[in-house]
Structure 1
């Protein structure tokens, strides 16, 4: 598969190009996009030029503006998905600053609504999203190892290994690792 750092940098470059394409398709300036998503123009510009690796929170805000899930956006910078995706070929994206690793188990296809994602949160990780990437997104969160807290619509659910939470996402959400050794979970996402 090659050097992981080179592969990650290549994904950041392709992601930056795709973000710039999406903005151009909408006919927006960096300033207009900044107003819509609440991210500074300089940060948006640096992400588009691949000078920074976008955080999960930044990508979530951009996905909300563009009406895509994070998996959809990330799949747009990958090759056309095959019917079978071997474990070694499943794209992995990491937000190192937050302690979040995301593996696209079943990369989405434009004709399908569902996808599977493996998530890992390091001990102490606390991810907050101010809005869903797509309003009404259905999510099933199945904890495989460890424990986590998921907050949606001002209700916090504590989940341990084997527990599964089903929810529709309309507003802010929060994913917090509630285990000293981290948490590993499977996220099933179904677009409305």
Structure 2
């Protein structure tokens, strides 16, 4: 498989940082949280939250996941276009890319934003040997996530259980526990993340 990450044209970092900044500000206002309250809920320092909201920081995926958990939203929600739109199509060329400064993994929000879609789809390109661990907790309503491997191999650990997924495999989970993603191979893995809010509790 061609190493797509090395050939991708990254979206301007400033534009993405400003988009994330506005989304965090808007979601915090919607939740009625002060910076101090969000800091307590997320485990992210007030100073870091302030930098993120001003677009003056390039936070890692782990930090953004903590912020999303504190806001009771999904990580994908932080990358949505804050501008209202009724366009039912998200053109490929308009889907901004974001690269985690720690692991180097690249994510692309595929689903059109601001349409209130019940399901979100994200494409991820995960570098060889990279690893990311999220300390996720339960959201309300419950958030279900499916990982569908399009190319390559990924090890996904939920709590203390590790699942090895190969091309074509699909894993379903709920965002309510620590999760770790690891690419144990020498090749980039590509997978889709499908995220859905559930109206009632779910169990495997």
Q: TM-score by structure 2 length?
A: 0.82
Q: Deviations over 1:48-93 (max 9, x none)?
A: 1111112111111111111111222321435526212221122222
Q: Closer, same or farther in 2 for the Cα pair 1:89/1:79, shift >3 Å?
A: farther
Deviation at 1:27, TM superposition (A): 4.5
Question: Equivalent residue for 1:102?
Answer: 107
Residues 60 and 132 in structure 1, CA contact (< 8 A), matched pair in contact too: no
| Partners of 2:139 and 2:32 in 1: CA distance | 21
Question: Equivalent residue for 2:157?
Answer: 151
Deviation at 1:168, TM superposition (A): 2.2
| Partners of 2:108 and 2:152 in 1: CA distance | 17
Question: Equivalent residue for 2:167?
Answer: 161
Question: Equivalent residue for 1:118?
Answer: 123
| Partners of 1:46 and 1:62 in 2: CA distance | 13
**Alignment partner of 2:41 out of 24, 36, 41:** 36
Q: Closer, same or farther in 2 for the Cα pair 1:132/1:46, shift >3 Å?
A: same
Q: CA RMSD in A?
A: 2.2
**Alignment partner of 1:70 out of 66, 72, 75:** 75
Residues 69 and 133 in structure 1, CA contact (< 8 A), matched pair in contact too: no
| Partners of 2:167 and 2:29 in 1: CA distance | 44
Residues 108 and 114 in structure 1, CA contact (< 8 A), matched pair in contact too: no
After the TM superposition, which of the residue ranges 24-33 and 182-191 deviates more from structure 2? 24-33
Question: Equivalent residue for 1:85?
Answer: 90
| Partners of 1:79 and 1:18 in 2: CA distance | 12
| Partners of 1:186 and 1:153 in 2: CA distance | 21
Q: TM-score by structure 1 length?
A: 0.86
Q: Closer, same or farther in 2 for the Cα pair 1:44/1:163, shift >3 Å?
A: same
Residues 83 and 114 in structure 2, CA contact (< 8 A), matched pair in contact too: no
| Partners of 2:122 and 2:33 in 1: CA distance | 31
Answer yes or no: is 1:184 the counterpart of 2:190: yes
- Structure 1 residue runs of 5 or longer lacking an equivalent are none
| Partners of 1:152 and 1:108 in 2: CA distance | 28
